[in-house]
Structure 1
Amino acid sequence: MLDSFRRLSKSKIGTGILVAFLVAILASFALGDISSTRNSNFGLGSSTLAKAGDEEVTEQDVSRAMEQALNRIRQQNPAATYQDLATDYLPLVQSLIEGRALGAFAKNNGFILSPRLIGAEIAKIPGTRGLDGKFSDLAYQQFLGQQRMTDGEVRRLISQQLIQRLILTPAAAEARLSIGMASPYASMLLEEREGEMAIVPISAFAAGLKPSDADLASFYTANKARYTVPEQRILRIARFGPTDVAGAVPSDQEIAAYYNANQATYGAKETRVISQAVVPDAKVAAAIATRARTGDFAAAAQPAGLSAADVSVGPQTRAQFVELANEKVAAAVFAPAVNAGTIVGPIQSDLGWHVIRVESVKGDPGKSLATARTEIAAKLSVNKRKTALGDLVNRIQDGIDEGQGFADAVAKNKLAVSETPLLTAQGKALGDPQYKLPAELAGALKSGFELTPDDKPVVETLPGEAGFALVALGRDQPAAPAPLDAVRARVASDWVTKQTLLKTRSVATAIAAKIAAGAPFAQALATAGVNLPPVSPIRARRIQIEQSPPAVVPALQMLFSLSQGKSRLVPLPSANAFAIIRATKIVPGNAMTQPSLIGRVQGQFQQGASQEYALQFLAAVQAEVRVKRNEAAIAATRQRLVSPTGAAQ
């Protein structure tokens, strides 16, 4: 709604670009580009881009901020470069200057942040928490590595954001707009206009346009960048994995050795259901044993303060019972002469005096070697193949480190080789739209595009259980304009589109000039030389502009920018046409008939007013701390970072 009145200048990045990863814990203003307009160096060093009080913005600060911004962009677009941030460079520098200015202002006025407060904010970052949900030094170090930042940089960013939140927010929050100020704007929204509109469609002038060879050559030469094909590469890939070591199987001796070493699993064993009472006194234990020989064990232990749950141990093997009691007690309980119903004890251990009743005895003959052979062979095969695959990876890598090329490594290790068609960095084959690179080779594609022609092949780990891939660069085709013959049809189509647009614009401009000079719409349209749609009436309130379809918004905006009786040409991009609009009647609005609209305008203006307060406060802060800008150094740093010839990729 308020875009009809005023659009605040906003940078694409804003102040928050440096702390995008802290958004979960910090609230910050997306501040616009406030110009400090300092044109001389003011004696600043060549590496100092600006100074706010004692706080400096250095070339290194800007480089780090640009690097972090690029890393974030590359999460969505891996092919992004510093040139994609060219328009954001100056707003980013300004946001750093504003942050330093606020810091200097806080320092000058005794506003100090305690290290504990900053530490508490760091602990709120989700990436700094361990598996228990609490702050972890290890998790924090991993977080710093992922963000490619130091602890000092994080603390400085948090300090700046806290200062911004504690100083700037109170100055800008809860802005209020009076009814008297909101009413005129609300009345503007209710203003009604009537007019006439003539449409000149581009399609009406497309017939009969046919480029000559010279036209195509000239247009192609002037627009080569439009037909540039991105870098493409043919990658040679040798995949290997578990199937390449399928022959790694255990021998009979290995199976037998595993069987003998794991008798606890495969050997015969006996399970006994046990009830046990453990008391600290020998006499109490003897009394329990006496009562248990003639009655229920749980009842026998009850006088000693033990419940049925306390004495119920359940099924136990000898090994299990050794861990529960000790070897001496387990030997007595599992003695061959002890049968179901036998009372054993009292026997003393480190735990006290044990009285045990063997409730039942169950024997398990276990598995013979022949019976367990298949199971053991499967287990050992998995381990042997993992070991063999690891040995194969090491053997290939060692060979590469010693100078082996791709062909030698493949031949020596008998690997199957596949070769991709020419691919872009995104895995698309421009010559074969049906081709699809297997998803598990995404890492191999990335590695392949990082190789130079002189680089050794690399071993890439594939996701899941897909194994590995040896990757080498087969052929590199640098980015270059496609030959004219290869894109002739596209060039011809683009030429026709441009010529049609130029012709349509010329005719529409001529018609608009005639109408502006006083000619009737119908008479002016008749001079076009082609049949055009008839003149149509147009009527709307200003408040309807933003609610209208995109195709008619430019026409409505033009209608409300004209004085009564005036006309003007306006492009309609989404309608592929031009329109000549003339305002014939203006009816002022009266918001007093709609008090609720005034309230809405007040609310809508509040955000803009808060933004304005923030900008004004920042401007005052920068003036007070005397911000100085080294424009030459700022321009030189921009040239180094984002210019086509100087950008570091």
Structure 2
Amino acid sequence: MLSFLYRVFVDSWVGRIVAGLFFLAFIGFGMGDVLLNIGTERADVAARVGNRPILVQTYQTALQTEMPQVAQSMHLADPSQIPAATREQVAQQVLGRLMLQAEIAEAADRHGLIVPDSVVRDEIFSIPAFKGRDGQFDRALFNDRLRRSGMTEGRLIELVQQEQASRVLLQPIRDGVAAPDVMVRRVFDFEAQTRTIDLVRVPFAAQDVTATPTAAQLARYQANHPWEFTVPEYRHARIVVLSADTIGQRLDITDADLHQTYEAQAQTFNQPERRSVQIVTVPTEDRARALAAQWTDGGAWASVQKNAGKDAAAVELPGIKVGDVPSADLGKQIFAAPANATQGPVRSEGGWVVFRITGISPAHFSPYDDVKQALHDKLAHDRAQALLADRVQKLQDAIAGGGLDAIPTDLAATAVSGDLDAQGLTHEGTPAPIPGSDAARQAIIARVFSQAKGANPELVQGPDGVWYAVAVDGVTPGHVQTLAEAGPKVASAWQAAARRHMADEQATAYYTQAAGQGGLGHVSPAIAGLEHSQPILPMQPAPEIPREVAALIFRLSQPGQSVMTQADDSYVVATLTAINHPDPATQKNLYDRVRAGLGQSMGDDIEMSYGAALEGIVKPKPNNGAIQAVMAEVTGQQKAGAAQ
């Protein structure tokens, strides 16, 4: 069964959490809660493949498990920093993998793969969770674990049979993939090579423009750049906004209320330490010692999983608390161990354990004074939410009866008025003081510029629970400013353009000299301000090197070549001075990681191609509403149309 979790699931994102749940259940006594919780969600289906459902909980858990690893690979401190587009891409890939796993199981059934009873028996007997202290299968322990999990013996046998049948289809796909040596070497050479450069920066602001533009020059500049001197259309609008926030701002929340809420949510403000751990359980101490000796580097996890053996459990458990580990002794050791160091062997109820801490989130305590304002805002919002529907009705009646001049003050609606452009800016260039979230503000501004002048106001529901009404009573058309109107703005723009042109000329001269003389370092006389970089990597360029330059440098084929580009408010000229090609023998861990990564990627591609072929036979039936809800939560975005 653990082999099934490794072969079919552990190599995929979703499998890490599934295998983790089984692992925690098997080494301790929490198996019942895990499996019962999984079983109670069957009505909540994200997709169906044949007769097999993909549960929303399974999908969401897989995403939440994968995001920290994606953040780590992007060198981000927290998954919340992952761009929304990347999070959505990961969400789509995880769903595809879940569907592929279901399709493979369906294919195994369709091909009529029959697993002998002896194979099923041997597989179940090899599961460490069902072995007694003597290392042999314990029928009483087996019955007890099944009873507490709510799983029948027949269901377990069915799962093992499915695993064995799926393995026949899937294992040759994964095990038969090997990245060619020439490919491994090329990718390794790109990732591990370092380059050094010479560069010179020519800032725009450093250029000294002594000439004074003539009236004719200013007029020509203004005529050639009309978009720089365009006054936008302004509309004078009166706006009324009603939301839980506007109501909450006028509610009286006492200190007693806040203290009571703080005490009720004490667990939220007192976060225990959490750790991410990679952990392997094997039946014997000798095998555990051998794995510990092999596991000398954080990058060796893939080979550790592969070499752990058929009867081992090798899983990653991100962000666990000490109480999440069913074995109290093992939990103490995990939370006492240093990060990035292999620990063990350690004896546990399920066998011998070797583990490695890959991340530590320290315990955090938030005093009452630090969260008082946030508690106040949340409590006021919650209470206001209960009042909102009634007040919306009263506001609608008031607007229908007398417009925006007949709104009772006790409704806690907020009224603002003034001129604004289509970007929501005032004449001074500051945002108009429209209450609400960015989405609500954008909806209100769009309403101001789509509603006819003098039209009767209507109460409209906008994003984030905001209700608003708009009256437009003045429109000032946009126009291109004359030279007299633009005045000093044209002169300032002319000066900025002149400085940029001078910087361009100077940088171009440096580039031409560098191209003709073999690099910036060979230009005579020597260039003032020439910088010599430290070795830089393609995947981790030095922070002092502009990213625009780093991107171009790794496109050059040989030292002595130069590039020129703009970076922020400067032109930069750079010369590639050296390329260092590393020896794989001196960086064996990196070379092995590249080989393993390419093999994994090629296996994924072949597996997905196989899955695409299976889709022609077993058509997945996604539940788009459930999928979009999960994606919206993961990406931090609202579902399309949810705010309408």
Q: TM-score range by the shorter chain?
A: 0.3 to 0.5
Greater Rg by CA? 1
User: Structure 1-normalised TM-score?
Assistant: 0.37
The structure showing larger relative contact order (alpha-carbon pairs under 8 Å, at least 6 residues apart) is 1
User: Structure 2-normalised TM-score?
Assistant: 0.38
